[in-house]
Every structure is written in C-alpha cells, then in structure tokens.
C-alpha cells in the first residue's frame, strides 16, 4: 500500500497546511554600489510553506523613478510597506519639486519598519541614484535598523553567499562587473537555498535611467558541482 | 428634549471580547458530548487564465462544513463590477462579504470618476482591506477583468499579498489545477482553447481533491461582454435509481372496501396573500 503522507491541518481535514500558511518571499536579494549607480538583483520565488505560489515574482519594486527596493520576508508586509512608502515619497517629491534622495526613501522604510517592528516581517534593501551622493545602497533588515553599505545581501539565501561576496567584491568595480557578480552570487544562493529559485531579475540604476534584465533558468551561470 | 450622547471614537479591527466566552463554551460542550458548529469553508478549486481577448475564470461548486458537503451547487464566482469578476476560496462568508463590500465601494468610486473601474483598483482595495485584518479574514481570491488597459488577472492571499500573472489557481485543489495549467498554457490563446483549459483545470481539482466537487462554473470576460456560464459542465450528475422499493398495486389483495364520506361544511374562508416580490 502506497505511503503518501499528506500533512493536513488539524483544524480542517480538507485544507492542507500550506494553504493556511502565510505567503513569504523566501528569497535571495542583493544590491551593489558602483561609481555612477547601483546594481540590484533578486530571485523570483514566492512560497506558501512548501508550495511555490509564484515562480516569476518581481521582488525589485520601483519606489520612484531612480529608487528601487528589494523585498524579502512576508510578501503581504513588504508589498504593503512598499505601497505606503511609494505614496509618501511621491508626495514628498511633489512638495520638493525635485527628485527625492535615496536616503529619504530609506528613512521612510525605516520609519515604518521600526514603528511596527513587532507586527512586521520585512527585510528590505533600498537602492538608487540621486544627484547628491550618486549610487547608494541602504539596508533595512528585520527590526528596522538603517545602515548604508557598498554591498548588501538579504533574504534566506543570503547566508550562503556571504563568503563569496566578501572575497569577490572589490571597491571601484565597473557596472558590468557588478552585474556579473550579482548574477553569479544569486545563482549560487538559488542553487543551495530551497526557498530561492526561478529566474534572476537584475536592474541597474544610474543617472541615465533604469535598465532591467531577466536571466532565465537555462542561461544561469553553472558551477563545478554539476 | 436634548439627549447627551457620549461619542466613542470608532475602534477599528476585530472585537475579540467573545473569545473567552467561546473557550468556556467549548469546554462545557465537550462535557455534554456534542461539538460546536464549524465555519463553512469552500474547499474549492478556483482558477483564472488570460487569453487573447480577455480572461476566463473558473470554479467548482462544492461548499464543505468539515467533512460534509453543505452546498452541492454554490456560486463561487462573485460580481465586482460589470467588467470585473472575482472567484473566492477559503471561508465562504469572508469571500462573500469581502467581494460585496469592494463591489459596493467600487461602484461609488466609478460614479465619482465617471469611468469604468479598473482591475488594479479592485486589487488595491481588496489587498488593503485584507492586510488591515492581518489574515483573520480567510479570503483567497482570483480577481479578473478587462478594462481600458486590457485584460488583467490577480491572485490575492488572505494576508494581503497579491500576484499579477497570466494564469493563477487557488484553493485546496489549486495544485491539481496548476499542474494542468503548467502543462498546457500558452500565451494569446483563443477563447475556445482558454475555456477548455480552465474547464480541464477545474475538473482536475474536482476529481483529485476531496474538498472540491460537483459542477464547473465558468466566466468569460472580454471587452464589453461577460459570459457567466453556470453550470458550464455538470461533471457530477446525480445518478438515476435503477431499482424501486415501492410495491406494485395488487401485491396485497384487497378483500373488502368501505367508503364513508365525511360531510364537512365550509364555515369561514379567508385568503392571506404572501409578499413574494
């Protein structure tokens, strides 16, 4: 007799456990500064328990013309926070009659994430370009801290690539080298982390504007393990 | 005579005062040996697909209360606006009320703007309401429609996260339905192909998931036209009995027959009409 164990929730036999679990962006996200802009990247997997709810998620969310955020943690929490900050920043920008600063956007994220730190599960990387300081990456992890870093990784898959990042990042890299570094790092993380996978989404933000790219599964860099 | 009213500021969110009472009741009821009624959940398979000219939404029609089928033919595709419909999985009451509330607000919004509502607007309203209630409203929705920017399809989860995709499935039968979609979906399908694909996806849910069953409802939305097909496919027809337990006349022979007429006089006749409007 086949032994198929289907984990069903105790509350209702007909509704499997994954159906009542919250949707989380398991995730690997990364952001790198270079002279003249930033490169950001993310995987594309959203999970509810062990089921992949969306295998082509776009975790690189536009907050303003040249400011993006990379979302990790609870999908509902990060989508809601991003919507709120997009509104606040848009309003602020109209009042200023000037493109907003990346630091402003990062502080708006921090304000929401810190105030509601007990209720939220959100790890966010804010990255973009502004006239004052050029390309910047700000890290707003769970808890609501704010710190600027030249390179930052986040999400459940980030733990697998700290070593790679530390040994391969050098200050003063070109945009294309940063893209390559990000794509390789994300591929490595997606290889090892079950909650990360799908395609690699990349974006580069500079004074010229935003350039988006998708690297499909079969085009990802391969490693000696296969 | 003026009355003094102390106005309490409106408190948002749920009122959890009855939780203590419910816990006490549950304890007492188990002592008596019976159980409290469970909320009716729509076990469900719902799905949606974007095709060349619009969207096709599909749903099964079984509503369950624990292990019992409470409704063999319930309607899971809800009206939001003339160009937008929404399938609901999860707690039946939550999906029903949530879609009605948003439908009402969207109609008012549409009167304000003077325009046909957009699917993105309905999506925003739904996700912001569900996030506000932090997942306590158990409504998992598939929202689809056609507006001035073309056909759109969203999946909305109880905690308030949404995904905009060309094909989505929700409910306990969503894995079975998604398997069908991942195998046979192609972008820019014709209407007939899209309807067949959705029908097959729901059928996969009906026959492979215990929480889904009965018939298949379809809703085809295109620019300027909605086809609400209920039922599209009676996948589970009630069988016809092959035998009959009734005895034929003459099985028991009649020996004598006595007829006694009862002469009754009509004393008073009054008619009360029922308001059936």
Predicted pLDDT of residue A9: 41
Assign A50 a pLDDT band (cuts: 50, 70, 90). confident
Measured distance CA(A107)–CA(A105) in Å, rounded:
5
Query: Of residues A25, A27, A28, A86, which has the active-site annotation?
Result: A27
Which residues on A lie below 8 Å from B211 (Cβ)?
A: 14-15
End-to-end CA distance of chain B: 41
Query: Of residues B42, B44, B95, B121, which has the active-site annotation?
Result: B44
Measured distance CA(A147)–CA(A152) in Å, rounded:
10
Q: Which of A51, A79, A119 sits opposite B161 (nearest CB)?
A: A79
- A150-208 pLDDT tens trace: 999 999 999 999 999 999 999 999 999 999 999 999 999 999 998 999 999 999 999 99
Q: Which of A6, A59, A32 is nearest to A183 (CA)?
A: A32
Per the CB < 8 Å rule, is A80 touching B172? no
Q: Chain A: which residues have CB within 8 Å of chain B?
A: 12-16, 19, 22-23, 46, 48, 51, 53-54, 56-57, 74-76, 79-80, 83, 119
Q: Taking the model in full, what pTM does it have? A: 0.81
Nearest residue of A to residue B129, measured between CA atoms: A80
Pairing of strands B84-91, B167-170: unpaired
Nearest residue of B to residue A82, measured between CA atoms: B161
**ipTM score:** 0.85
Predicted pLDDT of residue B31: 80
Radius of gyration of chain B measured on its C-alpha atoms: 26
Q: Is B256 a catalytic residue?
A: no
For residue B134, the distance in angstroms to the closest alpha carbon of chain A comes to 9
Per the CB < 8 Å rule, is A53 touching B175? no
- B101-113 pLDDT tens trace: 999 999 999 999 9
Which residues on B lie below 8 Å from A15 (Cβ)?
A: 41, 43, 172, 211
Q: Which of A19, A76, A119 sits opposite B161 (nearest CB)?
A: A76
Percent of chain A topping pLDDT 70: 88
């Amino acid at each position: 007799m086949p032994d198929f164990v289907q984990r069903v929730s105790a509350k209702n036999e007909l509704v499997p456990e994954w159906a009542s679990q919250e949707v989380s962006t398991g995730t690997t996200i990364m952001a790198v500064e270079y002279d003249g802009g930033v490169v950001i990247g993310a995987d594309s997997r959203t999970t509810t328990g062990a089921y992949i709810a969306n295998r082509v998620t776009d975790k690189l969310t536009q907050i303003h013309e040249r400011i993006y955020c990379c979302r990790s943690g609870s999908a509902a929490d990060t989508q809601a926070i991003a919507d709120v900050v997009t509104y606040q920043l848009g309003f602020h920008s109209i009042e200023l009659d000037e493109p907003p600063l990346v630091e402003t956007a990062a502080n708006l994220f921090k304000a929401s994430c810190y105030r509601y730190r007990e209720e939220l599960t959100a790890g966010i990387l804010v990255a973009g370009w502004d006239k004052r300081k050029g390309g910047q990456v700000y890290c707003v992890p769970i808890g609501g801290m704010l710190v600027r870093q030249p390179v930052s990784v986040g999400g459940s898959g980030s733990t697998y690539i700290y070593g790679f990042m530390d040994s391969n990042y050098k200050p003063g890299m070109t945009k294309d080298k940063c893209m390559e570094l990000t794509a390789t790092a994300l591929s490595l993380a997606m290889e090892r982390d079950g909650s990360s996978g799908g395609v690699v989404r990349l974006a580069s933000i500079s004074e010229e504007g935003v350039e988006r790219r998708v690297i499909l599964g079969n085009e990802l860099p391969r490693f000696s393990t296969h | 005579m003026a009355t003094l009213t102390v106005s309490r500021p409106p408190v948002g969110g749920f009122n959890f005062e009855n939780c203590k009472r419910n816990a006490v009741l549950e304890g007492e009821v188990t002592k008596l040996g019976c159980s409290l009624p469970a909320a009716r959940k729509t076990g469900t398979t719902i799905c949606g697909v974007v095709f060349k000219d619009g969207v096709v939404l599909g749903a099964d029609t079984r509503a369950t209360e624990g292990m019992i089928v409470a409704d063999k033919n319930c309607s899971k595709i809800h009206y939001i606006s003339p160009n937008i419909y929404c399938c609901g999985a999860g707690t039946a009451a939550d999906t029903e009320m949530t879609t009605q509330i948003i439908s009402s607000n969207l109609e008012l919004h549409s009167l304000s703007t003077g325009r046909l509502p957009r699917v993105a607007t309905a999506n925003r309203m739904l996700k912001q309401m569900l996030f506000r209630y932090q997942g306590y409203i158990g409504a998992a929705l598939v929202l689809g429609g056609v507006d001035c920017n073309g056909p759109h399809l969203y999946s909305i989860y109880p905690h308030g996260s949404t995904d905009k995709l060309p094909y989505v499935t929700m409910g306990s039968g969503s894995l079975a339905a998604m398997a069908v979609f991942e195998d046979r979906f192609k972008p820019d399908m014709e209407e007939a192909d899209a309807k067949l694909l959705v029908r097959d996806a729901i059928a996969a849910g009906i026959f492979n998931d215990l929480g889904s069953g009965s018939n298949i409802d379809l809703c085809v939305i295109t620019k300027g036209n909605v086809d609400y097909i209920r039922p599209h496919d009676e996948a589970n027809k009630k069988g016809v009995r092959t035998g009959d337990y009734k005895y034929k006349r003459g099985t028991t022979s009649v020996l004598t027959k006595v007829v006694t007429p009862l002469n009754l006089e009509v004393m008073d006749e009054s008619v009360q009409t029922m308001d059936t409007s």
